[in-house]
A = this chain, B = another copy of it.
């Protein structure tokens, strides 16, 4: 049945929120649109009123995830005089490692996105650009921004992949990468 325009917009946001969380947790091929819609309190048919296809849906879900990631970084700016340091500490924490559904879309989905031509790859690239720009602003050094982001993403992926089978190695990776990034500054 029809719903109000405000409710329709809320439903759209719920679909994006659920997709952004479930795709980061399970990968683009690890969860179906029916399950995501169910998580958002809707049925799968309603998806195609809001999005053209699963790929377009996934791409918008990535935009949503990137927005939240950049907002988090900006929120540190207001409170903290070393916003990037706090961001890194949170990024390379066990909590963030163990909750990919609410974490970085790059670490969770960039490897997947590299194999998907079309809207997902384009969105992922824009997200990477945004993070490099955000880091560059805060480090005043684009090269340093790129190497910092690379190490954070790589370290988190290694820590996630080894968490189940070798917990101490996983923790060691988080701590070591965090330590290496903290050295140059204060």
Contacts and interface: CB of A to CB of B under 8 A. Distances in A.
Interface in A140-186: 143, 146-147, 149-155, 157-158, 160-166, 169, 172-173, 176-177, 179-180
Total copies of this chain within the assembly: 2
A122 interface: yes
A173 B150 contact: yes
Interface string A11-45: 00000000000000111011000000000000000
Interface residues of A, number: 51
Interface of A: 25-27, 29-30, 100, 106-115, 117, 121-122, 124-126, 128-129, 132, 143, 146-147, 149-155, 157-158, 160-166, 169, 172-173, 176-177, 179-180
